Structure 1
C-alpha cells in the first residue's frame, strides 16, 4: 500500500510538472504549422536568387506546366514570368533583396503555401537612382510544384524608371 501511495504521488508530481502548450491546438482548416527550413522555402529562395542573378530559366522547374504567376493581379504564364522578370535587368543594376523573411505554412486542410516578405533594391541604369520597394509574395504548392504564385508591390517607381527608356 505504501508503494502504491508513493507511486501515485510520484506520478502526480510528474504530470503536474509537464509543460503545457503555450497555445491551444487549433484543428480548423485554415490553421496548421509553419516551417522556415523546408523544401518549399528552399525553392522560393532558389527562385529569388535566380531572379537576382538574371537566370530565371534555372527556376522554371519549381513551377507546374500550367502554373499562374500574378504580379499585382496581372496573370502571367511561367514563360511570360521568365521574360518579364529578366527584362527588369535591362533597366536596373545591382538588383538585390534585403530583409527577406520566408516561411511555409502547412494548413490542416492539406494546402501548402510559402510566404515571403522582402525589400527589392536596385540602381536605375538611366539615372543612378537607388530604388527600394517593399514586396510580398506567396506560392501555392501541389505535388512538389508551385501551381500558383502572387507577388505584390507598389510599381510606381519601378515603372517610372522603365518609362524613361
Structure 2
C-alpha cells in the first residue's frame, strides 16, 4: 500500500509526503519483512533538494545483525 500527496505552502515551499509498506525476504534470516515507512521530499525548481525518511528499524536491524554475524564466521 502506498499514498502520496504534495503540499504547496503560501511561502513558496513545496513538500511531497509519501507513505508506503516496504516488503522483502531477508537474505540471512529468511524472514519476510514488512516495514511501514514515510518519506518527505522538498522541491525547489522542479528538483528534490532534501529527502527525509522515517521507518521502524527493528526488523531491518535483526537482518543486519544476522548479516554481520555471517560475515564474521
TM-score (norm 1): 0.39
If each structure's helix is expressed as a fraction of its own residues, which one has the higher value? 1
Instruction: Please list every run of 5 or more consecutive structure 1 residues that lacks an aligned counterpart in the other structure.
Output: 1-98
Aligned mates of 2:33, 2:13 — CA distance in 1: 35
Q: Is the contact between residue 35 and residue 56 of structure 2 (CA under 8 Å) also seen in structure 1?
A: yes
Shift in Å at residue 160 of structure 1? 1.2
What SS does structure 2 have at the residue aligned with 1:160? helix
Deviation at 1:127, TM superposition (A): 2.4
Q: Name the CA distance, whole Å, in 1 between partners of 2:47 and 2:23.
A: 28
Corresponding position: 1:150 with 2:62: no
Larger radius of gyration: 1
- Alignment root-mean-square deviation, CA: 0.9
1:28-67 mapped onto 2 (5 Å cutoff): none
**Contiguous gaps of at least 5 residues in structure 2:** 68-73
TM (norm. structure 2) is 0.85
| Aligned partner of 1:137 among 24, 39, 46 | 39
As a proportion of its length, which structure holds more strand? 2
Distance 1:147 1:128 in 2: 36
Aligned residues: 67
The Cα shift of 1:109 comes to: 1.3
